[in-house]
Amino acid sequence: MLSFRQLLWLFFNLAFILLSQCTHAKDLKSSCHTCKQIADNFIKGLDQTKKQNFGGGNTAWEERALSKYETSEIRLVEILENLCESSSFDCNHMVEEHEDHFETWWFKRQKKHPDLYKWFCIDTINVCCLKGTFGPDCNACVGGSERPCHGNGVCDGDGTRGGNGRCNCDHGYKGEFCLDCIDGYFNEIRNDTFSLCTECHSSCKTCTGLTNEDCEKCKTGWGEDDEGACLDVNECLNDPPLCKEDQYCLNTDGSFSCKGCDKVCSGCTEAGPDKCQSCAPGYQDTEGTCTGRESWLTWEDQHEVYRKSNRLLATSL
């Protein structure tokens, strides 16, 4: 039987191996991304330098000069110098490390292999794979290289020498091959190589079709009627009430919320001073609406209060 110290040593070694594998896989993906960026920038450089030495003077002479410049080492150097940002260590390191490959492609392989990305990143320095393949040997992703994950997900490591080829399914899909549907979706079309998952009605947890009559199971907050359709449960009819005394219940599809009553109310059924069950202290029911005491006075009374207030103010001054 292994001692505690031996078990601890074994645990840390396994952890180190797993961490190293994860880091290596991440580095492989990063290397491919860097290489693709270099290849894309090289093509941009070709376009930017296409007519750099063409000024519009002696056309015949310039065409001859341009023909020489087009495949010259000067032009190659100009392109190479602008492939990377000065702050990008990985990019600059890759360009410096493989400068001889760029020269080989420029002078000897360009016509036969016009796709620099494929020639350099995939076939020469082996940091990338063709789309739909992954890993050190560029194996086909799950579902095949033509439609990885059957078109319903992303293959881990797709187009790189890293990853494990497993599918990260799009929303609505699940399973090793991304052919199955998650809860709330159903297979509208399904065969061995194709699946279309469509969202169920909002009342369904699982379903076989688009309507609330096609639910296999209702979501929480919905209940099945006598005909098997899922209908909203009105929680506001619950006894005892689900909301506090100074709140009213607002029913929503599949749920409810508790809202605060108007300040003039002591209990209410809906929002507003006309929906009070009774009036709060300091307020009075006036034709079905709770109002403040100042509103109880007639116009004449309010006018008299106003006059008295003005007299008191004048006296104090």
Whether the per-residue pLDDT at 138 is higher than 80: the answer is yes
What pLDDT is recorded for position 16? Answer: 39
- Reference 135, options 145, 147, 149; nearest CA is 145
pLDDT-derived band at 92, boundaries 50, 70, 90: very high
The pTM is what?
0.68
Percentage of the chain modeled with pLDDT above 70: 79
Mean pLDDT confidence for 67-95: 92
- DSSP code string of 157-171: TTTBS-S---EEEPT
Mean pLDDT confidence for 136-151: 95
- Reference 254, options 269, 235, 240; nearest CA is 235
- Alpha helices (runs of H) in 73-134, residue ranges in sequence order: 73-81, 89-97, 99-104, 116
Looking at every residue in the chain, the average pLDDT score rounds to 85
What pLDDT is recorded for position 27? Answer: 84
Percentage of the chain modeled with pLDDT above 90: 76
Top-confidence residue, 190 or 14: 190
What pLDDT is recorded for position 17? Answer: 38
Strands 230-232 and 167-169: unpaired
